[in-house]
Structure 1
Amino acid sequence: MSVEHRPAKTCVRLSEAELRRQKLQETLNLSIAQIGLLVRTTNCLETEGILTVRDLLNSSPERLLKISNFGAKTLLEVYAALERLGFKRDSQK
């Protein structure tokens, strides 16, 4: 009778909730340069210190519209980019 030795496999399965949380954190930490905005829009935001999706989501529309060369059309561009990432505006929930 032979005894076969198999190394124990250590498997840590993340819960679905944990995987969603990790994905959300990765998305929030994305650079705004990676979300499909026009270069002009990215430059406007970066000049104001808005560098990540998290920064963008923490900025009110009023704050964004006070940025030089950032108007209603640019705000709609930002909303569209955020929607592509899965974020919805309050009026769209």
Structure 2
Amino acid sequence: MESTTLVQPPRLIEYPNDLSGCDALELGHRRLLYMCSKSDGGTAFVVVLGYYAGQKDDFVTKDLIEPVDESSHYSIREVLTRSLAPEYAGAHMFFL
């Protein structure tokens, strides 16, 4: 019997069409979107949304984001830590 591997399309998350509050980091040919917490003296954190994947036009235009797979969390954390402002050096990072 011949085995076939099914290729799963990437899982995409739909966001409203206003990602203006996000920061972006170019990684290869992809754009990683993330948001840093506002500095109010509390614990700093960073939320990694994922890779920008384009837009979907339905009734409402939505931005599509491909989440970062779990196996890449460590390397993404390292790259982001080097590129963030010093106040985020020890920030907690959350991946959606």
Normalised to the residue count of structure 1, the TM-score between the two structures is 0.30
State the TM-score, normalizing by the size of structure 2.
0.29
Structure (1 or 2) with the greater helix fraction: 1
Larger Rg: 1
